[in-house]
Amino acid sequence: MAQKVYPTMGKVIYEDAEFEKLLPKSSSVEVIASGFTWSEGPVWNRSGNYLLFSDVPENKIYKWDQKSGLSVFLTPSGYTGLGEYSDERGSNGLIIDNQGRLISCEHGDRRISAMPLTTGGKITLSAGYNGKRFNSPNDIVQHAGNSDYYFTDPPYGLPKKQDDPSRELKEFGVYRIDKAGKTSLQIADLTRPNGLAFSPDGKTLYVAQSDPDRAIWMSYPVDDKGNIGKGTLLFDGTPMVKAGKAGLPDGLKVDKQGNIWSSGPGGLLVFSPKGKLLGRIEMGELTSNCAWGDDGSVLYMTVNGYICRIKTAVTGAGW
């Protein structure tokens, strides 16, 4: 059987010669699925060899694999109440934890949930802090060492965003759920925390902030107990936003060499561990997130209404 040929889009921009070692000049972006309202939260299931991702406004999680293509995996994905609720009511960020469960950031139900992929049936890992409901959990990561979960809570899933009358927490925080199930506020001074990821050694947490007035990526030390320390600026993308490049700092992943691959102004940006911009994948559409898949060297990207992928010369952290 002939190998399927996918359409391509976007182009690779080389800001630094080192970027060629990560993405050869022959690299191209394939479009493997399309027709979504706003795709987000991609995660690769290594045991089943397939991709899961959210369509946030449509309240669905989709599944894609090379053999069968696209199918609906879960609906509703993030809002189980009555009515429409908001324009971003579904699940957003997804991971598969070290127990093999699908962990979802649920905008509409304002919680972090866990669901076994084989049997279904969700449980709530956390729905609030100090007796107050979250805004709309957005993205999540699990620490490889302590197995705790860390997630962001901006207002994007609320019906009236930051001005919604049902908002209970003043902070747009970065939170931690520890092994005992306790939720703690780890970072309280970001205006729009969004994507996050750990360095390969787990000693640094990177957080993207999707604020057009301060479109930044921050770097935070992680101590031996899993607590987050004082952050430093990794990269400031605000000038790129002001120059008219579409998009904001959003979902990100890290490769084994410690480079950060993140959606942002101008597509998907790639930084060195020290915050040097190496290059970017200019998609011509708003890019929301990315995830390593296949053998760990293929980067899957959620790009507005598209699902795309590109073969890299590196491997994702944790593979």
Kindly report, residue by residue over 121-139, the tens digit of the pLDDT. 999 999 999 999 999 999 9
What is the model's pLDDT at position 118?
A: 87
16 is an active site residue:
no
Q: Is the pLDDT score of 45 beyond 90?
A: yes
To the question of whether residue 40 is assigned a binding role by annotation, the answer is yes
User: Which tokens is 126 given?
Assistant: 């956390």
Q: Is the pLDDT of residue 265 over 60?
A: yes
Number of Cβ within a 10 Å radius of residue 298: 18
pLDDT above 80: residue 1: no
Class of 11-311 in CATH:
mainly beta
Ramachandran class of 155: left when φ > 0, alpha when ψ lies in -120 to 50, beta otherwise? alpha
Buried b (16+ CB within 10 A) or exposed e, 72-100: ebbebbbbeeeeebbebbbbbbbbbeeee
Kindly tell me if the per-residue pLDDT of 213 is higher than 60. Answer: yes
pLDDT at site 119? 87
Q: Which whole number is the average pLDDT over 1-18?
A: 89
**Per residue in 154-179, pLDDT tens?**
999 999 999 999 999 999 999 999 99
Span 283-304, average pLDDT: 98
Mean pLDDT of 220-224: 98
pTM passes above 0.85: yes
| Averaged pLDDT, 140-156 | 98
- Average pLDDT for 37-61: 98
Predicted local confidence at residue 2, as pLDDT: 60
Nearest 5°: phi and psi at 127?
-130, 5
| Res 184 pLDDT > 60 | yes
The rounded distance, in Å, linking the Cα atoms of 38 and 302 is 8
Q: Where are the domains of the chain?
A: 11-311
Mean pLDDT, the chain, integer: 97
Q: Which residues pair with 281 in a beta bridge?
A: 12, 268
Task: Name the catalytic one among 109, 148, 153, 250.
Answer: 250
Q: Is 138 labeled as ligand-binding?
A: yes
Name the region of 147 (left: φ>0; alpha: ψ -120 to 50; beta: rest): left
Measured between alpha carbons, how far is 103 from 93 in angstroms, rounded to an integer? Answer: 8
Longest dimension (CA), the chain: 58
**Residue 111 has what pLDDT?**
98
